[in-house]
Amino acid sequence: MVKYKQTNLTDDAPGRLPLRKAAASKRSEILNEFSRTELLLGKDAMKILKSSTVAVFGIGGVGSYTAEALARSGVGKLVLFDDDRVCLTNINRQLIATHKTVGQKKVEVMKARILDINPKCEVEANECFYSAQNAGEFDLLKYSYIVDAIDTVSSKLILIEKAQAAGVPIISCMGAGNKLDPTRFEVADIYKTSVCPLAKVMRKELRARGIPALKVVYSKEEVITPQEDEDTACKFNCICPPDTKRKCTVRRQVPGSVSFVPSVAGLILAGEVIKDLIKPAER
């Protein structure tokens, strides 16, 4: 009868444990939070993203999703702009809005979330509303790409003008409120857009300013008229947090919204930014 030597499979032979630890350590150096992205984009593209600085103007229903998608894609530095605080009415659509964050500064909540995703990401949080009054305080040349997720026409226009004058790539989001169909979003030049009321206004204003082109994300879905009454109108029942600088009561109309429309617009914006940034790696 042949006798086999019993081996305890839980024990490691002398010298084997250090080898296993070394192998595990080497694997951990190779595999990281962006390994799956690298499988798709390649090492050169990941290096470009890591060295890129992207500014996101507006951290709301659109911009919050854009900022997070950029962080999860390995962008090395993100610069955030928003002067608002999280409101209870933001919970239905904004990534950073929860009952725990109501009342907190949006840029600070977004910064903390980004750093929890990628502690190595450099995040600059600017608690301000970008406008003609403070535009001169920011050097847009520092940015590799700019995302316009602002909801005010005047601020969108000044940002677009400044970005194009500086020669910095910019992508702008058109209207995402009062819409229900996320499949109707398209990426196009502003002068090839249709249906969207905000895009119509922007076409006219940009043409008057001599701006020949602008990459945008817009929806071809017809606008839905909000079913507003005194019980649901913010102008009569404002619950903006204390210290809110631009309360909803000063707005001409507060649009209706759902979770699955502005989020999709934000993700499309991020996707276009990433694809544009890594084009050198594809050559």
Going by pLDDT thresholds of 50, 70 and 90, the confidence category of residue 230 is low
Q: Where are the domains of the chain?
A: 37-282
Whether residue 25 has pLDDT greater than 90: no
Strands 53-57 and 170-173 come out as unpaired
Question: Where would I find the H helices in the chain?
Answer: 16-30, 35-41, 43-50, 63-72, 106-117, 153-166, 197-208, 262-277, 279-282
Within 13 Å and on the Cβ side, how many CA atoms surround 31? 7
Rounded CA gap, 234 and 240, in Å? 9
Averaged over 58-83, what is the pLDDT?
98
Max mean pLDDT range (76-85, 226-235, 253-262):
76-85
Rounded CA gap, 190 and 175, in Å? 12
Which of the two residues, 252 and 116, has the higher pLDDT score?
116
Rounded CA gap, 230 and 207, in Å? 39
Contacts with 115 (C-beta within 8 Å, 6 or more apart), sequence order: 121, 123
Rounded CA gap, 64 and 8, in Å? 53
Instruction: Give the tens place of pLDDT for each residue, 233-268.
Output: 666 667 677 677 666 666 667 899 999 999 999 999
Strands 53-57 and 77-81 come out as parallel
User: ∠ at Cα 172 (266, 207), nearest 5°?
Assistant: 160
96: tokens are 């950073």
Q: What share of the chain is helix, strand, coil (3-state, %, to 5)?
A: 40, 10, 45
Residue among 98, 39, 106 at smallest CA distance from 74: 39
Averaged over 63-73, what is the pLDDT?
98
Phi and psi torsions of 49, nearest 5°: -65, -40
Whether residue 179 has pLDDT greater than 70: yes
DSSP H or E stretch at residue 57: strand 53-57
- Judged by phi (left if over 0) then psi (alpha if -120 to 50, else beta), residue 68 lies in alpha
Going by pLDDT thresholds of 50, 70 and 90, the confidence category of residue 82 is very high
Q: List the CATH code of the domain at 37-282.
A: 3.40.50.720
b (16+ CB within 10 A) / e for 215-236 = bbbbbbbebeeeeeeeeeebee
Going by pLDDT thresholds of 50, 70 and 90, the confidence category of residue 9 is very low
pTM of the model: 0.86
Whether residue 216 has pLDDT greater than 90: yes
Averaged over 98-117, what is the pLDDT?
98
Percent of the chain at pLDDT exceeding 70? 83
